Structure 1
């Protein structure tokens, strides 16, 4: 007797419905082991990784192009402390290449010393900005901060050639370059980037030594509450108690660093600082950021601030990214500044630092 079986549309529909129902029953039963200790089946690991790679390559096409100075020392330095705090405990670092936590995660976080050879800068930016589902890799806290995303990309590109000593100096700062032990307190965390004296240089971080205490406290509060976007600073300030934020503000305000006042000279930057650009409706910087800034605590002191930092902040405001509700007027002013004016005024204010307080980048 010859048996025949013909596949019809209705039978195919029943079959698919049955497979789906079986899957739901298995999921409902709790038999699927979701423990990280169970690992992935090989086919599951392969499928997820293939989807991840293809997704990154596709969505990276929508990332902005990297800045011309992507691999600058300032960019690399800027991301190092955050990498140590937020990334190294999973991915390892030159000073601790095999963290124990990574071995019991599913999937196991990869070492990142080969990331630059595997991914293009825009692909790395996509991963840093948006994270990766099902891996524990988080998105960037402030995805609108292109400058921070690119700083992390620059750091990842430099990681393969970084020695343990170089890494420690970048991640923990010059105050700990000689392997002096770190104490687990907020000041030590701040000092990784800003130094114990707040006397930063080189464009990676602002000079905060000598800044107004009220301004520093307001800024730290804004970061802690998410009112001022920054993947670096929101992460750093979020877990610090309000009383510690106040102590940090008072401590750095008492340090030397920023100048007491600005001296005019014959440079273009000086003319903008003291007279503005009347034709473009740009007011004088000194009207808010000069000597009166120490009495008007809502405005930061600029005399002696790092030139690279001032220029970077003005460009962010000009581009309209990382909006600051308390500084709307500066977004308007910055939008009227041509690039040469930004460079000129940044250079002028960086020269106002007392000679005794200057530090080479």
Structure 2
């Protein structure tokens, strides 16, 4: 009897304790709501965070990144973050999208970034604290309760890995190396720049009808601030395989691609922030400019005879047994203006695009369904071979 009474008293005691805890939590929740409803919460960015709040947010962020990167990120076998071309792809985007907040070698953070709460950190000393997979997760997904956005193109993991490659090079980078990688020293093509700046505008000596269309609106400024950092003033792409060649490309295709990037119909975290701010007239002007540049030389010939023969077969005959048409039936100088010229394009770039088509991560322009169907039916060996074969061909002459 006494034992039952003691057991009952213990149960009642725990119930009272739980009731007290529940009442306290309810009062705290009500008090918090009233505090926020009354407008008393210190939401001003000038007020900063309490030390305990800052510690907790950073602790939660680090633990969250470590856990999610461990279970959701696997670095592809063909990704080498020490590849200079991969780092070069990431540098121009860092210049426009990251450096204003995080700074760069020889470049301070903007005044706007320094007024944020929390302040975006300088990254040079932080990068060694994270693994490649963790850096990938941060760049791809962004961080809540900060100004760090997610990557603009959810399915372009290749672009995110290029940002990781650049970040790996950031610690110890000199201002001169930063300027070179980011293309800060690149200049707009002289004829366009001079026409845009000449007194009297495009009617000045040396202007002419073509330049008038290019500088109204000011295409030279757009080229200098965005395009030449990646594609070069000559349109041949900076670096070995880091960026596609635009020189001599079909004008209609370039215009359609810019429109697709702006609509997010063709995904790219590099291109969309640029394209979305362009008017249609500016897109047409840029397409006209790059289409009018002389195409570059062919790449190195394919040394492996078997790969060369396979690449030529896919390009000129296709893979009839799997319903894959010949690449040349679409990608030639006399074919539809909506199909790009690919001869002389970089081998790695071509292979990357075919893989993106195959994985459903590319589209947005005319006849996208045809390309996706063809790429899905090609093997890895065929993609590698036909990419190498086209890279070795000279750029075709167009009438």
Q: Check the 8 A contact 2:319/2:325 in 1, yes or no.
A: yes
Deviation at 1:232, TM superposition (A): 0.6
CA distance in 1, matches of 2:349, 2:319: 21
Which 10-residue stretch deviates more, 63-72 or 28-37?
63-72
Q: Which residue of 1 aligns with 2:292?
A: 254
Where 1:224 maps in the other structure, the secondary structure is helix
Quickly say closer, same or farther: Cα 1:173–1:203, change in 2 above 3 A: farther
Q: Which residue of 2 aligns with 1:314?
A: 354
Q: Check the 8 A contact 1:259/1:303 in 2, yes or no.
A: no
Superposed, 1:200-349 pairs within 5 Å as: 200=237, 202-257=240-295, 267-293=309-335, 296-324=336-364, 326=366, 327-349=368-390
Quickly say closer, same or farther: Cα 1:227–1:321, change in 2 above 3 A: closer
2:66 to 57, 64, 80: 57
Which 10-residue stretch deviates more, 276-285 or 157-166?
276-285
2:179 to 168, 173, 177: 168
CA distance in 1, matches of 2:340, 2:251: 10
Where 1:185 maps in the other structure, the secondary structure is helix
Superposed, 1:152-191 pairs within 5 Å as: 152-172=163-183, 175-176=186-187, 185-188=221-224, 189-191=226-228
CA distance in 1, matches of 2:240, 2:64: 36
Q: Which residue of 2 aligns with 1:359?
A: none
Q: Check the 8 A contact 1:225/1:238 in 2, yes or no.
A: yes
Q: Check the 8 A contact 1:305/1:353 in 2, yes or no.
A: no
Give per-residue Cα distances to partners, 1:71-114, cap 9 Å, x unaligned. 21121111111110010000000130444333211111111113
Where 1:40 maps in the other structure, the secondary structure is coil
Give per-residue Cα distances to partners, 1:55-84, cap 9 Å, x unaligned. 101111212324432321121111111110
Deviation at 1:135, TM superposition (A): 0.6
CA distance in 1, matches of 2:55, 2:125: 19
Where 2:170 maps in the other structure, the secondary structure is helix
Deviation at 1:323, TM superposition (A): 4.5
The yes-or-no answer on 1:94 pairing with 2:73 is no
CA distance in 1, matches of 2:330, 2:346: 18
- For the pair shown, which has the larger CA radius of gyration, 1 or 2? 2
Q: Check the 8 A contact 2:127/2:167 in 1, yes or no.
A: yes
CA distance in 2, matches of 1:168, 1:37: 33
Which 10-residue stretch deviates more, 152-161 or 9-18?
9-18
Deviation at 1:214, TM superposition (A): 0.5
Q: Check the 8 A contact 1:258/1:301 in 2, yes or no.
A: no
Where 1:138 maps in the other structure, the secondary structure is coil
Deviation at 1:268, TM superposition (A): 2.9
Where 1:143 maps in the other structure, the secondary structure is coil
**Long gaps (5+) in structure 1:** 1-5, 178-182, 356-361
